[in-house]
Amino acid sequence: MSTRPQRLVILGSTGSVGTSTLDVVARHPGRFEVAGLSSNQRVDLLLEQCRRFQPRVVVLPTEERAAAVRAAVAELGLATEVRVGAQALCEMAAAEDVDSVMAAIVGAAGLPPCLAAARAGKRLLLANKEALVVGGALFMRAVAEGGATLLPIDSEHSAIFQCLPEDRSAWARRIDHIVLTASGGPFRTRDPETLHTVTPAQAVAHPNWVMGQKISVDSATMMNKALEVIEARWLFDLAPEQIKVVIHPQSIIHSMVVCRDGSVLAQLGTPDMKVPIAYGLSFPERIESGAPRLDFMSMRELSFEPPDARRFPGLQLATAALRGPLGSTAVLNAANEVAVAAFLAGTIGFTAIHSVNANTLEGLEPRLGADHRLDDLLELDRRARAFAQQLMKELR
């Protein structure tokens, strides 16, 4: 086995998952080489990361931000190449000398570089669940054809993955169904009648996890779990009825596999993304993650509840989208992305997120052929966003 460092690209390195990834990397000098980084907005943090990890390439979305980084990088005397735009992201993710790609961009914007990494046969660490929700079969085909190794980073999917044998061909015979756990978010016990008054600040205050804004709102509506059901369908090749959700407010059991013989395998840990990130980075080995350890002696009780459909209507949309016409999951994702952005901007209320999602899924026909390509998915994503924007105009 080669002892050279694993060459790693982090897409979305300035976000919550991106910074946690660099935190794990920094604990293992010599094991990883940071080959590339990218950020959408946080130029100062990206520069700090350049100084510390000296990547060969960084990618920014606009020439203006790139120019600022280029000047600062030159001043620091670094050889980092600063590139611009979506195509540069794809090229960085597929570059020949790159071993692994951490996909930590939020939203469908992460799909093109994920596909590029998959087609180039990389070890692909997938946090960016929206990319798989939108990409579906096309994404999984790219992984198979490119010979990529797809490693789930979402904590629930990492848990399932850790409970399964390394030999994927044994999965179908082993799994009866899986149980995704959900914390229930900040409004688990709040009177559903008052949910329309929720503010963005209340919605992003998650009781157990510190995360980016979009996934925090998704956790409050439980659309995050809906997206995770769709993500699990593709990662583990399951039928919708094989994916169950249970509320587990303590977020200690990260998910479970119920085997054909009735045996239940679970993965436990403190709620810290550094654990699934470290596993993705080191698989099939295990390395220090830096996460606090579970203390059984002082652990609170572990409790379980069924999800309340009145409080969390979004969960049913996952099943509806999985059973709907091809492309329905991409439509649902697009509606949710624009609805969450509008809620965070203060233009729609919290419960309107669900109306926008349900009505877009119901009202827009995806018209996607079985032989669709990336461009067809991106076009569908644009149409669904426009449809949802129009619905929101009518709501106001």
Region near Mg ion per CB under 5 A, out of 46-54, 64-72, 90-98, 153-161: 153-161
- How far apart CA 11 and CA 39 sit, in angstroms, is 7
Phi, psi angles (nearest 5°) of residue 27 = -80, -5
Region near ligand NAD per CB under 6 A, out of 121-129, 249-257, 324-332, 341-349: 121-129
Site residue total, Mg ion (CB under 5 A): 3
Q: Decide whether 333 or 367 has the Cβ nearer to ligand NAD.
A: 333
Q: Are strands 175-182 and 253-259 parallel, antiparallel or unpaired?
A: antiparallel
Q: Which of 21, 128, 158, 162 binds ligand NAD (CB under 6 A)?
A: 128
- How far apart CA 91 and CA 193 sit, in angstroms, is 49
- How far apart CA 38 and CA 295 sit, in angstroms, is 36
Tell me the closest approach of the beta carbon of residue 385 to ligand NAD, in angstroms: 13
According to the binding rule CB under 6 A, does residue 18 interact with ligand NAD? yes
Region near ligand NAD per CB under 6 A, out of 75-83, 193-201, 210-218, 355-363: 210-218
Q: Are strands 32-38 and 6-11 parallel, antiparallel or unpaired?
A: parallel
Region near Mg ion per CB under 5 A, out of 45-53, 156-164, 293-301, 358-366: 156-164
According to the binding rule CB under 5 A, does residue 130 interact with Mg ion? no
CB 384 within 8 A of CB 364: yes
Instruction: Please name the residue that has the structure tokens 């409050």.
Output: 220
- How far is Cα of residue 206 from the mean position of the Cα atoms in its chain? 17
According to the binding rule CB under 5 A, does residue 154 interact with Mg ion? yes
Site residue total, ligand NAD (CB under 6 A): 27
According to the binding rule CB under 6 A, does residue 318 interact with ligand NAD? no
Nearest Cα residue to 209 out of 217, 322, 266, 229: 217
Tell me the closest approach of the beta carbon of residue 154 to Mg ion, in angstroms: 4
Task: Using CB positions, name the residue nearest to ligand NAD.
Answer: 15
By a kind-dependent CB cut-off of 5 to 8 A, residue 335 interacts, out of Mg ion, ligand NAD, none, with: none
DSSP classification of residue 5: P
Instruction: Please name the residue that has the structure tokens 């990890």.
Output: 53
Region near Mg ion per CB under 5 A, out of 7-15, 150-158, 174-182, 288-296: 150-158
According to the binding rule CB under 5 A, does residue 272 interact with Mg ion? no
Region near ligand NAD per CB under 6 A, out of 102-110, 141-149, 166-174, 195-203: 102-110
Which parts of 58-97 interact with ligand NAD (CB under 6 A)? 61
Which parts of 22-61 interact with ligand NAD (CB under 6 A)? 39-41, 61
Tell me the closest approach of the beta carbon of residue 161 to Mg ion, in angstroms: 13
The two tokens of residue 323 are: 């059973």
Please state the length of the chain: 396
Nearest Cα residue to 159 out of 298, 253, 37, 93: 253
CB 5: neighbour CB atoms within 10 A? Answer: 16
DSSP classification of residue 292: P
Nearest Cα residue to 54 out of 83, 88, 80, 15: 80
According to the binding rule CB under 6 A, does residue 127 interact with ligand NAD? yes
The two tokens of residue 186 are: 């900040």
The residues that touch ligand NAD, with contacts defined as CB under 6 A, are 12-18, 39-41, 61, 104-107, 109, 127-130, 154, 209, 211-212, 214-215, 273
Footprint on this chain of Mg ion (rule: CB under 5 A): 154-156
